[in-house]
Structure 1
Amino acid sequence: MTPLLLALALQVGPAPAASVPAAPVPAATPQTQVAATVDPRLGECLELAATDPVTAVVRANEWIAGNGGVPAQQCLGLAEAGSERWDRAEAAFAKAAMLSSELDRPDTGNLWMQAGNAALADGQGAAALSHFDRAIATGQLAGKALGEVQLDRARALVAAGRADEAAKALARATELVPQDPLAWLLTATLARRMDDLMKAASAIETAGALAPEEPAVLLESGNIAALKGDMAMAKAKWQRVAAAAPGTAQAEAAIAQLATLAAADEPAQAPVTPPAGS
């Protein structure tokens, strides 16, 4: 299962309810009861999307043809994501979200989040941001779910070159999900790019405490240490990445940084005196 498909899987089902004052709750009608229940076929769809996405798409379309409604559209999005056809996944999730909104279902916010993540994977930052904002506007997201969508918004804002707004979204994300190392890692990376090394160092220290062996955290820790002039620390961090995560993009970046560091440390060669008579 790809990392993004796994992330989408975690968004299957209604979001935790926002904290609101107690009020009389009417008896659930059959429609609201169904809306509050996750269709078990979504779990089957997700497993098939991870192992055989082509068949998953066929099954999803059959489910849609049988008036499967919102879950069937969501299944199609998961199936298309399994093949990394992100534009089709986005369209399916967005259609599911719109239908869910019409039915006043509690999973509308999550569906917009899924549409946003698919758009972001497809490089469509503006569309992703629109989807994430619609997810927040549902009022269904709270706590961790709201923190994660703020984190996603920050990624979209960075892609759009709106660094100041991204920093605000990340600040909100770290308030809501303070135990998420990715929120602190992205905060550190953005702060480094904005030349705020004090904030970057503080954020990467927190990320490191939460995920001490995460290659991306170690790599960024080395980057920040190098900019602060602590080359011994930078070298140690990059060496850990190269040793712990061989073959990954983080390891390749760390090896390149180590090569640059080694080249800078090499003393200039003394000029060679040609032999007499040459």
Structure 2
Amino acid sequence: MLSFRLAFPLLPFVVMAAAPAAAQKFETPLDPPPDHTRRYADCLKQARSDPLKALPMAEKWHADGGGLAARHCVAVAMFRAGRYVQAAAQFEAIARDMGQDRPRVRAELWAQAGQAWMEAGGAEKAAEAQGRALELNGHDADLWVERALSYAAMLAWPRAISDLDQALRLRPNNVEILVLRAAAWRNAGNPARALDDANRALKVAADHSEALLERGFAYLARGERPQANADFDKVLRLVPPESKAARRAEAGKRGEQPGAAPPAPTAPPKPGGKR
């Protein structure tokens, strides 16, 4: 799963908490010193572009009193460098050390921890971290999708479906979420419900290749090969010949069902625009 959460800094007001307790005091969380804000942004930019170089710099900044902002940059650099377990532990520690303040920022930190655990192959720990995030911000559809994907990795299909239900309550008729739930229903052994969700998605986006694939696989599971092949043929007309979608469609035409986990979206499903 792409790390969209780690592509950007946390909300700017978290920087206030990053100041050394005795050395700097800010009047409000929304008014950090410009030089401190710039250092945080520069550190995260370096962490994204060259994490192995950024990591010792961020660690030195933390040793010099960089506080939570420096620690967050350390965690992002660890993540980008592939040190996922350490990054997850760091994100969680920062969230805990913030106490009861800034629930949305803490939710984002727990979500970032969840992504790191997923990259480390720890789906159960990821779901636990994402659960902590949802306790703080249950109105974030992306969070429900992320935990659903963790449950899918655990083959816990009823839990995945339940979380996708919550995401769809927040974003009704979102095509990407409907496709994910169709895949979850299919894997849960209910192709009729999978077909319903795929059809709902295709009413919104008639040429959506993943929705067509899911409808094809639902038809296949129901033994309706002509309908399945019609969808697989349409996918093959829509996508590049060597693409993953094309390979899945070709497998479907051979009568093969895909693997257990539903495909993760290439970006978090959104109603439009950046989050």
User: Scaled by the length of structure 1, what TM-score is found?
Assistant: 0.71
Distance verdict in 2 for CA 1:201–1:111, change over 3 Å: same
CA distance in 2, matches of 1:182, 1:11: 25
Q: Which protein has the larger Cα radius of gyration, Structure 1 or Structure 2? A: 1
Answer yes or no: is 1:152 the counterpart of 2:150: no
Answer yes or no: is 1:55 the counterpart of 2:50: no
Q: Is the 8 A contact 1:13 1:107 kept in 2?
A: yes
Answer yes or no: is 1:71 the counterpart of 2:69: yes
CA distance in 2, matches of 1:41, 1:203: 46
Q: Partner of 1:66: helix, strand, or coil?
A: helix
Q: Is the 8 A contact 2:191 2:219 kept in 1?
A: no
Q: Partner of 1:4: helix, strand, or coil?
A: coil
Q: Residues 18-62 of structure 1, C-alpha deviation per residue, up to 9 Å, x if partnerless?
A: xxxxxxxxxxx7253358x99455544444344323223233323
Aligned counterparts, 1:45-124, within 5 A = 45-101=43-99, 104=102, 106-124=104-122
Could you tell me which of 21, 30, 34 is aligned with 1:33? 30
CA distance in 2, matches of 1:82, 1:214: 32
Structure 1 unmatched runs, 5+: 16-28, 262-278
Quote how far apart the aligned CAs of 1:78 are: 2.3
CA distance in 1, matches of 2:155, 2:114: 17
Question: What's the Cα RMSD here?
Answer: 3.3
Quote how far apart the aligned CAs of 1:248 are: 4.2
Could you tell me which of 133, 137, 140 is aligned with 1:135? 133
Match of 1:250 in 2: 245
Answer yes or no: is 1:225 the counterpart of 2:225: no
Q: Partner of 2:99: helix, strand, or coil?
A: helix
Instruction: List, as ranges, runs of 4+ consecutive aligned residues in structure 1 with deviation greater than 6 Å.
Output: none
CA distance in 2, matches of 1:42, 1:250: 40
Could you tell me which of 157, 160, 167 is aligned with 2:161? 167
Q: Is the 8 A contact 2:3 2:115 kept in 1?
A: no
Q: Which amino acid aligns with 2:229?
A: K
User: Scaled by the length of structure 2, what TM-score is found?
Assistant: 0.72
Distance verdict in 2 for CA 1:236–1:57, change over 3 Å: farther
Q: Is the 8 A contact 1:154 1:166 kept in 2?
A: yes
Quote how far apart the aligned CAs of 1:191 are: 0.9
Structure 2 unmatched runs, 5+: 14-25, 257-275
CA distance in 2, matches of 1:211, 1:11: 33
CA distance in 1, matches of 2:225, 2:219: 7
Distance verdict in 2 for CA 1:180–1:81, change over 3 Å: farther
Distance verdict in 2 for CA 1:225–1:89, change over 3 Å: same
Quote how far apart the aligned CAs of 1:155 are: 1.9
Answer yes or no: is 1:186 the counterpart of 2:180: yes
Could you tell me which of 123, 148, 171 is aligned with 1:125? 123
Q: Partner of 2:78: helix, strand, or coil?
A: helix
Q: Partner of 1:5: helix, strand, or coil?
A: coil
State percent identity of aligned pairs: 25
Q: Is the 8 A contact 2:178 2:200 kept in 1?
A: yes
CA distance in 1, matches of 2:226, 2:62: 58
